[in-house]
Structure 1
Amino acid sequence: MPRTVSLGAILGLNNRLPPTRMEVALPNRTTAAWLQVATNIDLTSNGFIRRRRGAGKKVAAGCHSVWGDKSEGYMVRDGDLVHINARSLVQTTVLAGVGQAPVQYARLPDGMVYWTNGNQIGRLDGASARSIATPVPNPVPVASATGGSLPPGRYQILFTALGPDGESPTTEPQAIHLPNGGGVAIAGLTPNTLVYATGPDGEIFNEIAPGDYLSLGNTGAACGTLMHKAMPAGRAIAHYRGSLMVGRGRFVYVSEPYEYGRVNLGRAFIPFPGDVSVIAPCEDGVYICADKTYWIAGDPLNSAPVVVLPFGAMPGSLAYDPKEQASYWQSELGVIVAKPGGIVVAPQDDALQFGKAESGATLVRDQDGETHIIAARFDVEKLHED
């Protein structure tokens, strides 16, 4: 069992002060002390020290990118994406061969967990893996000129697929020039393929009946996925105001509202000067960490980013506490606390100096009536020394 002891008022860790100045006088004339070193202990809110609970190995394998909530968990084990039952801890391989790249996760309002590792992106429905969006028809049906009763002009044809996850993005439009009395023959249709066509010299794609396009009949619904593509894979992922946001390189892509797997690459992206490492949404805006930390209030596609910190964040280090409405990530100044309204603080900076690190992990832990932020850093300099 954890053992709690009191050594007087303990303020926490401090590696900025010399050993002779670790004790300080408080305003109430009592004395408190900083710790130079602390191993396997927790500091309680009233200044007590509690021995940290022990842990036992559950999986004898190479694991990384562990994520979970009250419903379930996921991790990468020996290169495979694995589902973890929250109660029994039973592990089920969901997707084999995802590799060793770090995976980021986000649970969205549709109940599924979205994931990406920079090379792949998809959705997780329990122990089942699903694509990020319905794939476009493959192979693409072929349109060619034939006889018919269409007026002369330039016609455009494109295709989508309809599946359990909705309608796919479109194929590239095929343009066909017809003389008077021409038509369009279409080969390669499947039962789940939708066909869209323009009128003569038109630009609006409307659904037509499956089969050859021989007479004007483009009176169906306008194509709703024109210019859309499947959301690209990235290194950061989050949900904000009905859209999926993915950071890939220097860009943040924003999905169509409530169509999380599709993005309009003609307009729905935000460029930054450096690679995006963290996307942290709040109720009234979103933080983007790249070369610096930016705050975007309201609609991210219609608001200008504002710099709130002159540095970015370590990849993989984001955590969120719904009780406090706060996001936490790690930076060159230690843990950053970010709240709605673009308010950010670096509470460790006054007491701690940190070595260089290229990635991190952060956990909000509620245990024994206390809430702690557990932060781990991958220290490049120490690794080279070892």
Structure 2
Amino acid sequence: MLTFEAFTGINNVIPAHRLQGSDLIQAANVDIGLTGEITRRGGTTEISDLCHKNLWQAKGFMLATVGSELVAIHPGGGRVVLHTALGPERVWYCNLPDGRTTYTNGLIHGITDGLVSRDRSIEPPSSLGAPDFAVGQLFPGRYRYHLTHRRMVDGAESPAIFSQPIDISLGGLRLDGLPVELGYETLVYLSSKDGEGAYLIGAATTSSFEWGGKNSDLALPCRTTGLQVFPVGTYTAFWRSRVLTAVGNVLWASRPNTPHLSHWREFKQFTAGITAILPVSDGIYVGTQEALIFLGGTTWEQLAYIDTKRGPVVPGSGVLVPGKRLKLGDGVGAGEAMACIAGGEVVAGFNGGQTSSLTADRYKTTATEVCATFREIDGIPQYIAVPQ
């Protein structure tokens, strides 16, 4: 049996003939203890002979793809099929503070509590229907009407579409041919006289709607005017009440506490494709195919761009880690932190944009894509990155 008086780690950077007796080129199926001791890695127990991919720990349940199905696995082994045709390709997840988890494969996305799955975004009505005259008490004049879809189970509302100005001469508005979608109602908003604003006048669950109220009834404004459906995206994270997602080289942010809507101005563009989104308390680390970037700030509008000079970030390598479990100088970090593979090295990032290479001059990897996680086994922190 091979033993070490002292173990200083794996070193694949310097030539093998220059290694010290405390170095290894590689180590398989072992755990490294807090004082450098090497022990055999614990065994495994098979709980299913089906192929599970895209494993993710949500709050109180685990998600995985089995064949083309997205499945929630609950404590005790109970299973719920959430989506029957998500497919076996890579899936990106994001845990939300309310216990739900978003998922996306770049084409299909949704949100789940482990029991049911719903579309993460809500599309606006497909048409405006046909306006007609009705009798009512509105001042004669020119108005616009606006339509949204609202999901009845949770009240989530789509962006608004709006009409061209229409003349109302008899004091009321009638709409026919409204789009009807199961599980949704169509909210109807009307502008004030001469077309300013959009105020709720009612909801329709059929293809027709009629209203003849007064101008003073136009009081409750539409809150989704000017917004758009949140993009599908890939890499996803939650930061300060917003969901963030990557669409190619563009980082999009949802509206605060509204993961299904975004504003067309709330995006950050980078010079290369995004490969990681890793929020900390006072900023966001964004990995790209060219660099590791820190966006410093506590509001979306004030984020400041800082290139950490750490090199390109390997897709799938970014994970969030408690700062106290990562080495920083002669001590350890604090608060929120992250780890990723940047420039071939395992790099830690802390609040304030401070970064530290955990493997500098000792270990470099040529991996081009990985599936990474962080865990603690018997108090030992482990960063695991499995090549894909």
TM-score (normalised: structure 2): 0.85
Q: Which amino acid aligns with 1:305?
A: Y
Q: 1:63 to 1:281 in 2, by over 3 A?
A: same
Q: Structure 1: where are the runs of 5+ without partners?
A: 24-31, 379-386
Q: 1:284 aligns with which of 282, 285, 295?
A: 282
Which residue matches 1:39?
28
Q: 2:97 aligns with which of 109, 119, 122?
A: 109
Q: CA deviation at 1:7?
A: 1.0
Are 2:5 and 1:17 aligned? no
Are 2:361 and 1:364 aligned? no
Q: CA deviation at 1:70?
A: 6.2
Q: Deviations over 1:343-378 (max 9, x none)?
A: 1122213112322x3311222221123222122223
Q: Deviations over 1:168-212 (max 9, x none)?
A: 123421114327547532125678322111123223111124543
For 1:280 and 1:53, how far apart are their aligned partners in 2?
A: 30
Q: Deviations over 1:30-60 (max 9, x none)?
A: xx62102211112212121111112244333
Q: 1:173 to 1:69 in 2, by over 3 A?
A: closer
Which residue matches 2:357?
346
Which residue matches 1:198?
191
For 1:45 and 1:240, how far apart are their aligned partners in 2?
A: 32
For 2:339 and 2:142, how far apart are their aligned partners in 1?
A: 55
Higher mean alpha-carbon deviation, 128-137 vs 247-256, is at 128-137
Q: Is the 8 A contact 2:128 2:162 kept in 1?
A: no
For 1:160 and 1:284, how far apart are their aligned partners in 2?
A: 35
Which residue matches 1:132?
120
Which residue matches 2:156?
167
Which residue matches 2:328?
none
Q: Which amino acid aligns with 2:194?
A: D
Q: Which amino acid aligns with 1:279?
A: I
Which residue matches 2:227?
228
Which residue matches 1:376?
386
Runs of 4+ in 1 over 6 A off after TM superposition: none
Which residue matches 2:308?
308
Matches within 5 A, 1:35-74: 35-69=24-58, 71-74=60-63
Q: Which amino acid aligns with 1:77?
A: V
For 1:165 and 1:129, how far apart are their aligned partners in 2?
A: 12
Q: CA deviation at 1:153?
A: 4.4
Q: Structure 2: where are the runs of 5+ without partners?
A: 204-208, 325-335
Q: Deviations over 1:152-177 (max 9, x none)?
A: 54421111233232231234211143
For 1:135 and 1:204, how far apart are their aligned partners in 2?
A: 21
Q: CA deviation at 1:84?
A: 1.4
For 1:12 and 1:37, how far apart are their aligned partners in 2?
A: 9
Q: Is the 8 A contact 1:13 1:352 kept in 2?
A: yes
For 1:327 and 1:232, how far apart are their aligned partners in 2?
A: 25
SS of 2:89's equivalent in the other structure is coil
Which residue matches 2:129?
142
Q: 1:40 to 1:167 in 2, by over 3 A?
A: closer
Q: 2:72 aligns with which of 83, 88, 98?
A: 83
Q: 1:147 to 1:125 in 2, by over 3 A?
A: closer
SS of 1:253's equivalent in the other structure is strand
Are 2:340 and 1:329 aligned? yes
Q: CA deviation at 1:16?
A: 1.6
Q: 1:12 to 1:66 in 2, by over 3 A?
A: same
Are 2:268 and 1:274 aligned? no
Q: CA deviation at 1:134?
A: 4.4
Q: Which amino acid aligns with 1:377?
A: P
Q: 1:127 to 1:322 in 2, by over 3 A?
A: farther
Q: CA deviation at 1:215?
A: 5.8
For 2:200 and 2:33, how far apart are their aligned partners in 1?
A: 64
Are 2:87 and 1:99 aligned? yes
Question: Aligned residues, how many?
Answer: 363
Q: Is the 8 A contact 1:199 1:216 kept in 2?
A: no
Q: Deviations over 1:118-155 (max 9, x none)?
A: 11221111132122144534x54514242656555442
Matched-pair identity in %? 25
